[in-house]
């Protein structure tokens, strides 16, 4: 078998995800809605397995981290304290020829010009004007842009506002981590957690991304898996390295992602309160290296902001020394869609077989695979085989996610399971009826062996 992995494109991944029920375009029967996707039957299993793996490493295997699940709607002041109402915006310019909107900072980056995050709209406009002759509309190729404007990314809603003209709108979360800061005091007051400790959460976030694109990479609704680790002031450096290492290890050891497809990237432009910021990037098909997760050293910014805006004292009192301080925060924030895409891309393999045909196989770690065992009766029209296969399927289903399939020839059934990443297929044949043995076929080697049913259960 030879491997043709390097030729894989984003289109191949999107196509497999649709064809095999992993991810569907959102609201498809209505013609679709940009930047929204639905996870299908296999997608939701894979997504849940990735989440479980993340939760296990970050909560269950840690006695210094606890999990929460906060309400999506929050007091409107939360998003003022977080800086989202004032500053959570993308600088955009519209092409006067085709009305396509471009992200000014991103397009400048393409021609090697860095726009500082701290720049005002006027400064950015000046930089844009200086480089205008080098910037072409990616849609129509013309060079005729309107002014640079900031577009707020928060998604508004109207919880409890029955007239629709509330002056203080509620927002859907722009990021999942705010729920953690809001519950910092609750966790300190109600658990035995002492600094240093962390809080973890997987939560939905919504952003009015102007140009959602690249499949699950930039969507308008997403899920983020976050940890916020609280440390004593100025005790951030060493812990930050530990946090970074632990995150990297999860990708490689727990998810089995190839290390050569991952890299670190440090932020050049730090936001004013941050002490350091690194991203883990994955080498996505067609896109190249881009951010999956941000690991940020945020100093005391978040809890200071919420102390000021909520007028609730979020200082921590050290139970031993009685010392009072606002804890510093080390944040890890990963997009579930982006990690899902990385896991599928990394597992996606096209192999040429000895007979000249080829097969697509998702070489997922068995713990992540949407289906752990597929169970087939050799023939559909032999009731005794079907009955026995159903029995084995039922038994295994008590402990694993299994699939029963009696459709088409065995070769086709194997191909289907290969494409969804099922590690092992079990075939019930006439010998099974005599001695309770079955054929078990390995996804990666395609080798088969004979085992007793009792060994499986």
Residues 25-64 that bind ligand ATP (CB under 6 A): none
Q: What minimum distance in Å lies between the beta carbon of 289 and ligand ATP?
A: 12
Q: What minimum distance in Å lies between the beta carbon of 89 and ligand ATP?
A: 11
In whole angstroms, give the CA distance from residue 206 to residue 170.
13
Q: Which of 66, 75, 287 is nearest to 190 (CA)?
A: 66
Q: What minimum distance in Å lies between the beta carbon of 203 and ligand ATP?
A: 11
298 makes contact with ligand ATP (CB under 6 A) = no
Q: Which residue stretches of 191-332 are H helix? A: 237-249, 301-310
The beta-strand segments (E) located in 301-357 are: 316-317, 324-325, 328-335, 348-352
27 vs 407, which CB is nearer to ligand ATP?
27
Is the preceding peptide bond at 123 cis, omega within 30 degrees of 0? no
Q: Counting Cβ atoms within 10 Å, is residue 99 exposed (0-12), middle (13-18) or buried (19+)?
A: exposed
345 makes contact with ligand ATP (CB under 6 A) = no
Binding mask 134-173 for ligand ATP (x = CB under 6 A): ----------------------------------------
Binder of ligand ATP out of 198, 335, 370, 423 (CB under 6 A) = 335
Q: Which of 61, 340, 82, 346 is nearest to 225 (CA)?
A: 340
218 vs 363, which CB is nearer to ligand ATP?
218
The separation between the first and the last C-alpha atoms of the chain, rounded to the nearest angstrom, is 31
In whole angstroms, give the CA distance from residue 374 to residue 215.
29
115 makes contact with ligand ATP (CB under 6 A) = no
Q: What minimum distance in Å lies between the beta carbon of 81 and ligand ATP?
A: 16
Q: What is the phi-psi region of residue 308: left when phi exceeds 0, alpha when psi lies from -120 to 50, beta otherwise?
A: alpha
Q: Which of 455, 451, 454 is nearest to 437 (CA)?
A: 451
293 makes contact with ligand ATP (CB under 6 A) = yes
Binder of ligand ATP out of 180, 334, 361, 375 (CB under 6 A) = 334
439 makes contact with ligand ATP (CB under 6 A) = no
Binder of ligand ATP out of 53, 299, 332, 333 (CB under 6 A) = 333
Residues contacting ligand ATP: total by CB under 6 A: 16
283 makes contact with ligand ATP (CB under 6 A) = no
337 vs 421, which CB is nearer to ligand ATP?
337
Binder of ligand ATP out of 57, 239, 298, 338 (CB under 6 A) = 338
Answer for the pair 6, 345: CB distance below 8 angstroms, yes or no: no
Q: What minimum distance in Å lies between the beta carbon of 90 and ligand ATP?
A: 8
Answer for the pair 230, 196: CB distance below 8 angstroms, yes or no: yes
Q: What minimum distance in Å lies between the beta carbon of 185 and ligand ATP?
A: 24
Q: Which of 176, 224, 218 is nearest to 36 (CA)?
A: 218
Stretch that binds ligand ATP, among 62-70, 107-115, 302-310, 331-339 (CB under 6 A): 331-339
Q: What minimum distance in Å lies between the beta carbon of 106 and ligand ATP?
A: 9
Binder of ligand ATP out of 291, 367, 415, 440 (CB under 6 A) = 291
Across the chain, how many H-helices and E-strands are there? 15, 24
105 vs 405, which CB is nearer to ligand ATP?
105
Q: What minimum distance in Å lies between the beta carbon of 326 and ligand ATP?
A: 22
Residues 179-218 that bind ligand ATP (CB under 6 A): 207, 209, 218
Stretch that binds ligand ATP, among 5-13, 41-49, 131-139, 287-295 (CB under 6 A): 287-295
Place of tokens 């991944």: 13
Q: Which residues on adjacent β-strands are paired with residue 224? A: 203, 335
Residue 309, CA distances (Å) to 222, 302, 303, 305, 327 in order:
27, 11, 10, 6, 17
Q: What minimum distance in Å lies between the beta carbon of 415 and ligand ATP?
A: 31
Element (H, E) at 38: strand 37-39
Binding site for ligand ATP (CB under 6 A): 175, 207, 209, 218-219, 222, 224, 291-294, 333-335, 337-338
């Amino acid at each position: 078998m030879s491997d043709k992995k390097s030729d894989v494109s984003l289109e191949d991944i999107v196509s497999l995800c649709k064809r095999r029920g992993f991810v569907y375009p959102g609201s498809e029967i209505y013609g679709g809605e940009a930047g929204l996707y639905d996870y299908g039957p296999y997608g939701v299993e894979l997504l849940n397995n990735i989440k479980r793996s993340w939760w296990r490493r970050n909560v269950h295997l840690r006695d210094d981290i606890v999990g929460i699940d906060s309400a999506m709607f929050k007091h409107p002041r939360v998003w003022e304290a977080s800086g989202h109402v004032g500053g959570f915006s993308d600088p955009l310019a519209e092409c006067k020829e085709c009305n396509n909107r471009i992200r000014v900072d991103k397009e400048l980056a393409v021609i090697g010009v860095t726009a500082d995050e701290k720049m005002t709209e006027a400064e950015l406009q000046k930089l844009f004007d200086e480089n205008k002759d080098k910037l072409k509309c990616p849609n129509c190729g013309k060079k005729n842009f309107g002014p640079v404007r900031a577009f707020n990314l928060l998604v508004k809603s109207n919880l409890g506002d029955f007239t629709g003209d509330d002056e203080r709108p509620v927002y859907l979360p722009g990021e999942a981590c705010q729920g953690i800061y809001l519950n910092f005091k609750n966790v300190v007051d109600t658990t035995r957690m002492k600094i240093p400790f962390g809080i973890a959460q997987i939560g939905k976030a919504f952003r009015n991304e102007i140009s959602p694109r690249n499949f699950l990479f930039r969507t308008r609704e997403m899920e983020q898996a976050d940890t916020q680790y609280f440390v004593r002031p100025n005790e951030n450096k060493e812990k930050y390295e530990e946090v970074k290492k632990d995150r990297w290890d999860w990708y490689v050891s727990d998810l089995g992602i190839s290390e050569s497809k991952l890299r670190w990237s440090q932020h050049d432009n730090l936001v004013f309160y941050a002490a350091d910021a690194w991203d883990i990037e994955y080498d996505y098909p067609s896109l190249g290296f881009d951010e999956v997760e941000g690991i940020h050293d945020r100093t005391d910014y978040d809890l200071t902001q919420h102390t000021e805006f909520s007028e609730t004292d979020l200082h921590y009192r050290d139970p031993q020394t009685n010392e009072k301080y606002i804890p510093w925060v080390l944040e890890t924030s990963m997009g579930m869609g982006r990690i899902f895409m990385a896991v599928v891309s990394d597992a996606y393999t096209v192999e040429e077989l000895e007979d000249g045909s080829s097969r697509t196989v998702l070489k997922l770690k068995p713990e992540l695979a949407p289906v752990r065992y597929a169970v087939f009766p050799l023939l559909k029209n032999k009731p005794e085989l079907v009955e026995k296969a159903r029995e084995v399927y039922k038994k295994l289903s008590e402990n694993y996610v299994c699939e029963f399939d009696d459709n088409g020839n065995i070769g086709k059934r194997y191909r289907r399971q290969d494409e969804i990443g099922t590690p092992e297929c079990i075939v019930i044949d006439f010998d099974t009826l005599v001695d309770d043995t079955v054929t078990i076929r390995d996804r990666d080697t395609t080798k088969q062996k004979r085992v007793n049913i009792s060994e499986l259960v």
